[in-house]
Chain A
Amino acid sequence: MRYRIATLAIIAVAAWLLPYGLDSYAIHVVNVILIFAILAVGLGLCMGVGGQVNLAQVAFFGVGAYATAILTTRAGWGFWVSALLAIAATMAIGLLVGTPALRVQSHYLGIVTLGLALAFTNWVTNAQIAGGAEGISAIPVPTLPGVDLSSEYLYYYLELIVFALVLAFGLFIVRTALGRRMRAMRDDALAAGALGAEVPVLRMTAFLLASVYGGVAGVLYAGLIRYVAPESFSIANMFLLLAMVIIGGRQSLIGCVVGAVGLYLVREWLVDHPTVAQLAYGTVVVLVVVFAPTGLAGLPKRLRAALGRGRAGSAARLQPFRPYETRAEPAGQGAPILEADRISMHFRGLKALDEVSLSVTAGEIRGIVGPNGSGKTTLFNVISGLYRPTRGRVRFRGRDATGLAPYRLARAGMSRTFQNLRLFGDLTVEENVLVALDRSATWHSWHYLLRPVHVLRRDRDLHRRARESLDRYGLTEFAALPPKSLPYGIQRRVEIARAMAAGPALLLLDEPAAGLNGEEVRQLSEIVRSIRDSGVTVIVIEHNMGLVMSLCERITVLAGGRVIAEGEPAEVATTPAVIEAYLGDSMEVTG
């Protein structure tokens, strides 16, 4: 910690003294670099942290610069008023450009944002108000009492302060609840949604952040160059910006800054050979993508991993599970918590579910069994909102829940695990649990701007609860490890701990015993019983018959998308239809 503060102090002093050693051209270059660094941080937040491909960052930059130019020269308003309005305008455009992200992702999103960026350059080149191809010149110098900002040396300090603030703000987001949620969404949007992260709001937030950074950079650019023209916001510059972020390391904001500084310096060095520079950075982008996807920022970690390979594996050990306190009288005992009413789910010709009805009482452990392909997981996906059923209704806690978004159901008290484990691979075990624990609404993110202390305090509280939860599941020693590095059985337990951290009333477990050994299965049944005793209703899909028979109070048997039997374990096991579904009809075997 002390070491960090010292480094920070040295960097701050060096940045403060930097202009003393530079001539007037060099300080101009530094000023432009700082603007690109702000843009890169914005792009890193949107694309690296939020996973939203955004090729319109340069258009956000342009909107900020052009809005400032138009408001100061055409409307004659003061620089700072114009600047605020310009940032607001950029945010509006950011939300607009982000809307396609609600429907499409990845490649489609890339091409749509690229198209919108082209639309922007097309507009400014043609519009009278934007000055056409000549652009707008004679933007007034921003005024600041006692400081002459027409001097690039003094402008540097303005930029430096803004840069330090926005970088600190970005880091603050990445390291607290909002950033964690965005990273979770980037890793696995489906699982993040099932844990209550409002994926649509988060995607818009990512674009909003990118646009704020773009707007700030645009305002600074207008104040620095005092001239705007379409070619400054061309696609070539977008790709340069993208190269900065990729080469520096998109998932690390510091990496983005390093990339911006480094690449711009190289470009400046090759200023007489722009095509050579372009060839070089294009090649480096390809190499980075293939050989070092985490960019420069990821190199130290890779080096450490390469050097430390010889050391023995982690000594972390799984501790026993500490049962929950038993609730004497679970709330709403006896009333149905979940009712499925004649659900059908068709995938084109295939009827995965055919009029399935199910009623689960609060406080029970319900088993759902059936041969492979009988529709068990499809039923879970319909219940938890991943699929909207073709027909039928789902009621959860007395309210209609058909086709509600997964995150809404999660927030209403439904939590689930997945058949093939969907842990967030780029987050640590503790962060996985933290994402689930965090029940705050994402649109409360304005707290970051106006109530940062409150955010920090809440985050500290979340960490405390995450430690408690990990301790209960005996996972404390794994807290800082990436989940994919853990043995399979432990990953399964982490997923249950994560699902329970969301504080559900109903827990859906999809084949929790798959891949577990005998001892782990015994521990699992102990955990599930304790979860139920704490007042949570559990529905479990399982192939391990021994576990189902001993654990569940009632069992529902599915075959071919229909319910063929339901009842207590003993009576279900002797139902002829069930035996037939599992072992086949003896007539068919001989015939």
Chain B
Amino acid sequence: MQVFFQTIIGGISLGAVYALVALGFSLVYRTMGLVNFAHGNVVTVGAYLASTFYLTTKLPFALAMLVAIAVTAAIGLVIERVLRPLENRDFDLMLIGTIGFGIVLDALVIMIWGATGRAVPSPVPAAPIELFGLRIRTYDLVVLAIAAVATVLLVLFLSRTKRGAAMQAVAMDHEAATAVGIHVGRSNAIAFMIGAGLAALAGGLVGPLLYVNPALGGALGIKGFAAAILGGFGSIPGAIVGGLAIGVLDSFAAGHFQGYSELVTFLVFTVIIMIRPTGVFGERTVNRA
């Protein structure tokens, strides 16, 4: 029982990071119906930026993170602007376009930071908390708190601000949104920007948990995507639940299947998609003739 709960706790902080990645995927998807295949690479860029500012320029961790978020948000804007001519026209081509951006970002990361990775020390060096015989790392709590705050801010933005409401409208029907005078392109750009910012947040937070290396984002991206699918693509609460679920699942799979944990995760994920493509919280859509 002790081991069981310890495994769950081990999975939850990574789960929160997956949830942030999933949120980025979902936000872009619900606004423009696109899965951003470069999302994982943006996570890598964010992780490297945050760790660079934190380690070499000795900025405080929070400030390093903000700088990383700002830079990746700009990258998000660039991606959206370049691919804008394809929006609502050819989704397969857009998907391939984002893969192209992923290839470019991957190359840039290796050019700038080299192919080897780096370890980031925890910014909160306090000793783990002991609770009912379970060990909880303080940094895990920080990750959970930041992820929760980010989610609340995002939900508030979408529901309480005019810009957020406009984005919801675009998500529902981009043609109708255009008709009432919403600038769809700008809405998509903001979605991309926030999505990339969330990716950097996830990357920055995961730095002290994992080893920062060029392959980091690929793994996180695919887990985050699995989380988004599991929760229902495009759904905000779904992304959170999915992220935590994948984190815990991952933690159990690593315990039980060792090296094969990735294989197991992807097979389970494929089966889930086949049984219920819309996820747990997703809505069924109808295709019209």
| A positions within 8 Å CB-CB of B | 51, 53, 99-100, 102-104, 106-108, 110-112, 114-116, 118-119, 122-123, 125-126, 190, 235-236, 239, 242-243, 246, 275-276, 278-279, 281-286, 289-290, 293, 347, 377, 380-381, 386-387, 418-419, 422, 510
B103 touches which of A99, A118, A278, A510 (Cβ 8 Å):
A278
Contact, CB under 8 Å: A110 / B269? no
The answer for the CA separation of A87 and B139 in the assembled complex, in Å, is: 50
Contact, CB under 8 Å: A279 / B92? no
B92 touches which of A51, A102, A119, A243 (Cβ 8 Å):
A51
The answer for the CA separation of A201 and B287 in the assembled complex, in Å, is: 20
The answer for the CA separation of A160 and B201 in the assembled complex, in Å, is: 51
The answer for the CA separation of A186 and B277 in the assembled complex, in Å, is: 20
Chain A neighbourhood of B96, CB < 8 A: 242, 246, 285, 289
The answer for the CA separation of A122 and B265 in the assembled complex, in Å, is: 11
What is the number of residues of chain B that contact chain A, defined by CB distance less than 8 Å?
45
Q: Are A282 and B103 also in contact (CB < 8 A) when A106-B91, A116-B266, A119-B262 are?
A: yes
Q: Do most interface residues of chain B lie in helix, strand or loop, or is the interface mixed? A: helix
Contact, CB under 8 Å: B266 / A381? no
Residue B124 at the chain A interface, CB threshold 8 Å? no
Contact, CB under 8 Å: A115 / B222? yes
What residue of chain A has the Cβ atom nearest to residue B287's Cβ?
A: A190
Contact, CB under 8 Å: A289 / B108? no
Contact, CB under 8 Å: A53 / B97? no
The answer for the CA separation of A285 and B274 in the assembled complex, in Å, is: 30
One of B7-15, B53-61, B80-88, B173-181 at the interface:
B80-88
Known pairs A100-B270, A289-B100 / 20 extra A-B pairs, C-beta < 8 Å: A103-B274, A104-B277, A106-B92, A107-B91, A115-B222, A115-B270, A119-B266, A235-B218, A239-B102, A239-B103, A243-B100, A243-B103, A246-B96, A276-B107, A279-B107, A282-B107, A286-B82, A286-B104, A290-B83, A290-B86
Smallest beta-carbon distance A235→chain B, Å: 7
Which residues 262-289 in B have Cβ within 8 Å of A in the complex? Answer: 262-263, 266-267, 269-270, 273-274, 277, 286-287, 289
The answer for the CA separation of A99 and B274 in the assembled complex, in Å, is: 8
Smallest beta-carbon distance A50→chain B, Å: 12
Residue B62 at the chain A interface, CB threshold 8 Å? no
Contact, CB under 8 Å: B92 / A53? yes
Contact, CB under 8 Å: A285 / B99? yes
What residue of chain A has the Cβ atom nearest to residue B286's Cβ?
A: A347
Which residues 50-96 in B have Cβ within 8 Å of A in the complex? Answer: 82-83, 85-86, 90-96
Smallest beta-carbon distance B148→chain A, Å: 27
Smallest beta-carbon distance A156→chain B, Å: 30
Chain A neighbourhood of B218, CB < 8 A: 235
Chain B neighbourhood of A122, CB < 8 A: 259-260, 262-263, 266
Contact, CB under 8 Å: A107 / B35? yes
Chain B neighbourhood of A119, CB < 8 A: 262-263, 266-267
What residue of chain A has the Cβ atom nearest to residue B270's Cβ?
A: A112
Residue interface bits B87-130, CB-to-A below 8 A is 1, else 0: 00011111111011111101110110000000000000000000
Smallest beta-carbon distance A190→chain B, Å: 6
The answer for the CA separation of A283 and B100 in the assembled complex, in Å, is: 7
Smallest beta-carbon distance A118→chain B, Å: 6
Residue B182 at the chain A interface, CB threshold 8 Å? no
Interface centre among A51, A115, A126, A289 (most CB of B within 10 A): A289
Provide a sorted-by-A list of 19 A–B residue pairs whose CB atoms are within 8 angstroms.
A53-B95, A106-B91, A107-B95, A108-B273, A110-B37, A115-B270, A116-B270, A118-B222, A119-B266, A122-B260, A123-B263, A235-B218, A236-B106, A246-B96, A284-B100, A285-B103, A289-B83, A377-B289, A419-B289
Q: Do most interface residues of chain A lie in helix, strand or loop, or is the interface mixed? A: helix
A282 touches which of B35, B82, B100, B269 (Cβ 8 Å):
B100
Contact, CB under 8 Å: A381 / B289? yes
Chain B neighbourhood of A100, CB < 8 A: 270, 273-274
What residue of chain B has the Cβ atom nearest to residue A293's Cβ?
A: B93
Residue B34 at the chain A interface, CB threshold 8 Å? yes
What residue of chain B has the Cβ atom nearest to residue A189's Cβ?
A: B287
Smallest beta-carbon distance B215→chain A, Å: 9
Residue B18 at the chain A interface, CB threshold 8 Å? no
Residue B192 at the chain A interface, CB threshold 8 Å? no
Chain A neighbourhood of B104, CB < 8 A: 278-279, 282-283, 286
Smallest beta-carbon distance B230→chain A, Å: 12
Smallest beta-carbon distance A276→chain B, Å: 8
Smallest beta-carbon distance B234→chain A, Å: 12
